[in-house]
Amino acid sequence: MKVIKRNGTEVDFDISKIENAISKANQVVEDSAKMTRLQIERIAQSVELQLIKFNRSPSVEEIQDLVEKQIMAHGAFEVAKEYITYRYTRSLVRRSNTTDDKILSLIECCNEEAKQENSNKNPIVNSTQRDYMAGEVSRDISARLLLPKEIVEAHNEGLIHFHDTDYYAQHMHNCDLVNLEDMLQNGTVITGTMIERPHSFSTACNIATQIIAQVASNQYGGQSISLAHLAPFVQVSREKIRRTVEREMQSIGAHPTQEQMTELVEGRLADEVKRGVQTIQYQVITLLTTNGQAPFVTVYMYLGEAKNEQEKADLALIIKETLEQRYQGVKNEDGVWVTPAFPKLIYVLEEDNIHEDSKYYYLTKLAAKCTAKRMVPDYISEKKMLELKGDVYTCMGCRSFLTPDRFTDAGIGNIANAGNYEPGKHKYYGRFNQGVVTINLPDVALSSGGDMERFWSVFEERLELCHRALRCRHERLKGTISDVAPILWQYGALARLEKGETIDKLLYNGYSTISLGYAGLYECVKYMTGKSHTDPEATPFALSIMQKMNDKCKEWKTTENIDYSLYGTPLESTTYKFAKCLQRRFGIIPGINDKGYITNSYHVHVTEEINAFDKLAFEAQFQHLSPGGAISYVEVPDMQNNLEAVLGVMKFIYDNIIYAELNTKSDYCQVCGWDGEIKIEEEEGKLIWKCPKCGNTDQNKMNVARRTCGYIGTQFWNQGRTQEIRDRVLHL
């Protein structure tokens, strides 16, 4: 069994350290209050047995909590008092240098928590270490100086999660929809250099990647771009190529027919589209932002965004090339084609592509083929989104959705000074999210002790706590001047404000959103009712919880003119943190908090047997009540030889749910060349990835791709998330 020390390093469990600590406290009490050696050994053994039940690496703090309880259970209150006093004294000493210790452990690459904090970051490389070091300083400043004590304590106890405190010290926002159209059509500025409207598709793609990198370095969340904003430049290149071909034909005295000319032009154009798409794919993957990872970018593919039929055909050409290149994958260092994590792809299912006789159904078949091999694209239903939101638009990053535009209807107008603003038309590109605070729903339930009246009372208190925390996020952004991130606020990505102008007007009237996240609906309902939320008797209670959170967002929004919105939190590392906090606060309760993770948002529990169609249909009702962001998934085996089944799921998505994805496996062992599924096994109380062919367990010598929580991650997950991935059952 391993133990996580306070600086994040991982060491072997040593029972003698528990015995020594108790003995030191035992030595300073009166003889009449002293414990026997046998009692001390039994306490240590009892603690060890409880730790084994964790099925994960405990922290030093968790071990000490158990030791305290066991000493008191033996009636040795004087010894317990001395032990607690010693702990408190040491905590005062540590308070001055905890940040230093964590930073040093980061530099020496022995911080296990940092290694597992983000599955798409390599904590060994300098750029990631620099980001993590800055993050530790930001967390320290935020906890000591910037955030109210009650918020910090609630975050530390796991009652709520105040996301991204590693960036909170700076005036940075979460995620956004980049107004790529405005920047390409009307020009932008990158690091002081004027970038004018591109004169070819390939140049537009090159500029787009530079914009993506700049945006990623000036915020901490995901960003989305639309291929529809690149589509007009296909025609620009077509006309340019035609002029070039005409000159070439004249120079050699050739007189091709119009059909021959068109064939020549379209052939060269296809090559340029291929090069342009390749630029986006390879540059996004190989770029390293100041956050220490490739840009978290989503590429949106929606034929309905095209302004005319020619542009739609050109957009289809780009989509086809994008899907084909993603299907191929990228080469790893051994030259083997593997699945990349980014860019994330979203494909809109619509009338033009969903039916077998639809004009663009060939794209949908290609998307199905790509999904079966590479886990992308994910799917948005035009039909359901129009029905439930009134508009069709992409999410920001992996699942965070804007609220439908209300400032246009209110007559507020072009407050961002966008160059492509159209009066009377709803606006989505150029808008953003201010940040997220998540409520731990299982903690609300466990704090109530199962009493329903008490549950709603605690729930009300925790929601107001989240509200105060969200206000902190909002106030931190207020007063931010546009100069802090010119690419965002001055040069078109989000706005074209004046130098020195604040972004305050973009924080109100629905221009941006701020998200109340939630996690563990399944565990919450299970504790309160004894049933899964999929049980018809428990589902109404689950929906009432969702409605309560929506009502609160509406109440705050009406009062403050800030667009609070309910968001189904992805929980990559927080799922593990919440699980550990629940175990520390309430002990281990079978079926509720006995795992190293809690369930993402409203999802059906990963171990629950349910077929793909029932799962999607059930979760659709919760997705509707999670307007600030949500995604549903189905876990499937290798479907590359059963594309009709993949298409069947896609058609079901179109008819039933706004946003969903299919999860499969895509792995490669660099030691032996195994390209099947790499398994998760347990060794010495720790979950590890192991090649079933050669037994390789070196995470740096394998390529594992799994859907983490809306986006694809690699094998560097924490123990809680790894356990959740291991426990997943197939839905198809």
Each residue of 324-359: pLDDT tens digit? 999 999 888 888 888 888 899 999 999 999 999 999
Average pLDDT score over the chain: 90
User: Residue 444: which residues within 8 A CB-CB, separation 6 or more?
Assistant: 455, 458, 459, 462, 524
Q: What is the DSSP string of 557-604?
A: HHHHS-EEEEEE---SSHHHHHHHHHHHHH---TTTS-SS----TTPP
Bridge-based pairing of strands 666-669 and 344-349 is unpaired
| Count of beta carbons in the 10 Å neighbourhood of residue 475 | 11
CA distance 4 to 102: 12
CA distance 510 to 559: 13
* pLDDT given at position 607: 96
Q: What residue spans define the domains of the chain?
A: 2-145, 147-174+434-568+581-599, 176-382
Q: Does the pLDDT at position 679 exceed 80?
A: yes
Banded pLDDT at 410 (limits 50, 70, 90): confident
> Could you read off the pLDDT of 218-266 as tens digits, one per residue?
999 999 999 999 999 999 999 999 999 999 999 999 999 999 999 999 9
Q: Does the pLDDT at position 35 exceed 80?
A: yes
Displacement of CA 566 from its chain's centroid (Å): 15
Fold topology of 176-382: Anaerobic Ribonucleotide-triphosphate Reductase Large Chain (3.20.70)
> Could you read off the pLDDT of 39-94 as tens digits, one per residue?
999 999 999 988 888 877 888 888 888 898 888 888 888 888 888 877 767 665 55
Q: Which residues are catalytic?
A: 174-175, 396, 398, 400, 433, 567, 572, 710
> Could you read off the pLDDT of 161-208 as tens digits, one per residue?
999 998 898 899 999 999 999 999 999 999 899 999 999 999 999 999
543: tokens are 């929906």
Written as one letter, the residue type at 446 is L
CA distance 165 to 139: 5
The runs of H, that is alpha helices, within 53-164 are: 60-73, 77-95, 98-107, 112-115, 126-141, 149-157
CA distance 184 to 206: 11
122-128 mean pLDDT:
61
* pLDDT given at position 103: 58
Q: Does the pLDDT at position 421 exceed 60?
A: yes
Collapsing DSSP states into helix, strand and coil, what is residue 636?
A: coil
CA distance 56 to 685: 6
CA distance 433 to 565: 10
Q: What is the DSSP string of 464-502?
A: HHHHHHHHHHHHHHTT-BGGG-HHHHTSSSS--PPTT-B
* pLDDT given at position 669: 92
Residues forming a β-bridge with 297? 223
C-alpha triplet 683, 686, 690: angle, nearest 5°: 60
Nearest to 137 by CA among 158, 92, 106, 110: 106
116-130 mean pLDDT:
59
* pLDDT given at position 336: 86
* pLDDT given at position 570: 85
CA distance 592 to 609: 17
